[in-house]
Amino acid sequence: MRSRAHWCWFSLSYVMILLKRRSSIAETRCLLYLEHMIFKESNMTTGIEARGFIFGPPIALAIGAKFVPLRKPKKLPGEVFRQEYDLEYGSDCLEMHVGALASGERALVVDDLIATGGTLCAAMKLLECAGAEVVECACVIEIPALKGRERLNGKPVYVLVDSQ
Amino acid sequence: MFAAENGLSGDPRLQGIYEAIRVVPNFPKPGIMFQDITSLVSNHRVFKDTIDILVDRYKNMGISVVAGVEARGFIFAPAIALEIGAKFIPLRKAGKLPGAVISESYELEYGNDCLEMHVGAVNIGERVLVIDDLVATGGTLSAAIRLLERAGAEVVECACIIGLPEVEGRNRLDGKPVYILVEPRQQNYVVWYITLRSSLVLTFFICCNA
């Protein structure tokens, strides 16, 4: 599916080029994506370990938000919030630092892919338990057949491309 | 080599980066004063300063690849790659990358670990910058250098936010220069002492009035 989002993410470097010269449709579409995020007025961008760490920080830097990592167990030092979630076989857990955010802060959750939605759902619960407002989840890829969106309680998910 | 001794002496951004690091005692094991960079990246201005300093250094060095070491290297490396027009490649722990990979083992204090990179991630002769949050003994960075050189790339430099005392005085690692922004943050023992003494006084007062 060659949506406008396809052009934005396949070369995120366009984001930087477009700030200097807005000459092509591809670059304009990337600007639209960035403006989409700025319009949402997020105070913070969270990225889910580890592939969310690749995309989350550049977005945070570009929109003037702080970056907060959501990590696997025992990776973060000090006091943490924990949220367990189910896997196909067994369970896993996400953690976030206590004090990483202030109550009422508007958060964007970034990961590379949404499949069953279990990880994103855990991330949302973690942030909401800490008092944040999850504005949106953003992923590069979605696997629609796994219906991950249905686990997110109506929270919007911004996806760039589908994996058929 | 430390940034303050290589062109950035007196740069206030370095002091801001240093002060943004949080020290967590006894993590991941007793006796370790863990240098936590999550407090740095949660401060947008300081995070931006960190990236700006590294981008200014590397933007004219003809670097076509920025390699980030999993996982905290992933927080810094892609932003640098985007700014200097280079590609980003992840160097990951064993079993994380799909498809054909090349692996490099390295020693830990107890046991071994492994870094992997996709076959074909770099072309022969490409100039590479390696990024991690911290360098201690240099074991992880050395493995990264060997991995990239086995694939035919030229490692131009390694860059880290924090350099521990083990690496101090060593400008090169396996023959490659290492660029470091700040020394480890020292825990504020004055504040710790005052807090502890105040707690003891308060506890004594409560017991006397109980």
What is the Cα–Cα distance from B183 to A147, expressed in whole angstroms? 47
- Give A-chain residues touching B27 at CB under 8 angstroms: 77-78
Per the CB < 8 Å rule, is B24 touching A77? yes
The alpha-helical segments, DSSP class H, found in A4-45 are 4-10, 13-18, 25-39
Taking an 8 Å cut-off on Cβ atoms, the answer to whether A55 and B78 are in contact is yes
Flag the least confident range among B8-22, B31-45, B189-203.
B189-203
Task: Outline where DSSP puts E strands in B52-149.
Answer: 65-69, 87-93, 101-107, 112-118, 127-135
From B137, B180, B135, B132, select the one nearest B3 (Cα to Cα): B180
Give pLDDT, residue A16.
42
Report the residue from A13, A50, A57 with minimal CB separation from B41. Answer: A57
Mean pLDDT of A83-111: 92
A8 interfaces chain B, CB cutoff of 8 Å: no
> Where are the extended beta strands (E) located within A7-156?
44-48, 66-70, 80-86, 91-97, 106-114, 133-142
Q: What percent of chain B has pLDDT over 70?
A: 86
The reported pLDDT for the residue numbered A3 is 40
Closest-CA residue to B89 (of B53, B60, B56, B130): B130
For residue A70, give how far its alpha carbon lies from the nearest alpha carbon of chain B (Å). 10
Average pLDDT estimate for A47-53: 96
Q: Is residue A46 pLDDT above 70, yes or no?
A: yes
Amino acid B196: pLDDT: 57
Give the chain B residue whose CA is nearest to the CA of A51.
B74
Sign of the CA dihedral with A20 first, then A21, A22, and A26 last: negative
Reported confidence tier of residue B206, pLDDT bands at 50, 70, 90: low
Q: Is the pLDDT of residue A127 over 70?
A: yes
Residue A88 among the catalytic residues:
yes
Name residues whose C-beta falls within 8 Å of residue B3's C-beta, 6 or more positions apart in sequence: B11, B14, B53, B179, B180, B181, B182
Residues of A in contact with B76 (CB under 8 A): 57
What's the token pair of residue B7? 């062109």
**Is A65 an interface residue toward B (CB < 8 Å)?**
yes
Residue A24 has pLDDT above 50, yes or no: no
Residue B142 has a pLDDT of 94
A50 to B34: CB separation less than 8 angstroms, yes or no: no
How many residues comprise chain B?
210
CA distance A155 to chain B (A): 24
pLDDT at B210: 62
Q: Rounded CA gap, B187 and B190, in Å?
A: 9
Asked if the Cβ–Cβ distance from B41 to A67 is below 8 Å, we say yes
The residue to which tokens 């000090």 are assigned: A78
Q: Give the whole-angstrom CA distance, residue A138 versus residue B74.
A: 18
Distance from the B209 Cα atom to the nearest Cα atom in chain A, whole angstroms: 33
Q: Touching check for A68 and chain B: CB below 8 Å?
A: yes
Long-range contacts at A117-120 (CB < 8 A, ≥ 24 apart): A117/A146, A117/A147, A117/A148, A117/A149, A117/A150, A117/A151, A117/A152, A118/A85, A118/A86, A118/A87, A118/A148, A118/A151, A119/A48, A119/A85, A119/A92, A119/A94, A120/A48, A120/A148, A120/A151, A120/A152, A120/A157
Closest chain B CA to residue A19: B83
pLDDT score of B123 more than 80: yes
Interface test with A, best of B39, B53, B74 (most A CBs within 10 A): B74
